[in-house]
Amino acid sequence: MQITVSEWKIIDLLWKKPMTIMQLTKELHDETQWTKYTIIVLLKRMLEKNTVRYTMEGRTKLFYPNVKREDAEIEESEDLLNKVFDGKISLMVSALANKNKISDEEIDALCKMLNLERSKK
C-alpha cells in the first residue's frame, strides 16, 4: 500500500469523516500550507493506489478512505520493522528504550500486552 507521510495526513482526516477537496484544503492549510492543487495531486496518486475513493455529490467529489485504518497501520508497521529492524520487534523496542523514548507507563502496557499474547498460545 505504501502511504506516504503526505498521503497519511489526508487519509487520517478521511478516516474521521468523508471530505471534499476544499474541506481537506481548509483542514490541512494551517499545518501544511498546501493549496487545493497539492491536495488534488495527492488524491490522484491515492486513487491510483486505491487507498481512497469518491462519490459525486452534484458536481463535487466526496472522498472516502478505501482502506481500514487498522490494515494500514499494520502494513506500515511491518514495512518499518522489515526495513529498519530486520523484522524484529525486539530490536525496535531496544532501540527506543536505549534512547529513553519509552515511558514507564508504556513499558507496563507492553508487558501486559505481551503476557496476554503469551497466555493465548
Give me the DSSP letters along 20-86: -HHHHHHHHHHHH---HHHHHHHHHHHHHHTSEEEEEETTEEEEEESS-HHHHHHHHHHHHHHHHHT
**pTM for this entry:** 0.79
Q: What are the grid coordinates assigned to 80, written together?
A: 518499518
- Residue 75 domain-assigned (yes or no): no
Tell me the sheet residues that pair with 61: 56
* Mean pLDDT in consecutive groups of 10 residues from the start of the chain, 121 residues: 92 98 97 97 97 96 97 92 91 85 88 86 70
Answer whether residue 83 is part of any domain.
no
Instruction: Evaluate whether residue 40 is within a structural domain.
Output: yes
According to the model, what pLDDT value does residue 8 have? Answer: 97
CB neighbourhood size of 11 (10 A):
21
- Domains held by the chain: number: 2
pLDDT score of 96: 85
Q: Say whether both 21 and 52 belong to one domain.
A: yes
**What local confidence, expressed as pLDDT, does residue 13 receive?**
98
36, part of any domain: yes
Domain edge (last residue) among 65, 80, 111:
65
Identify the pLDDT of residue 50: 96
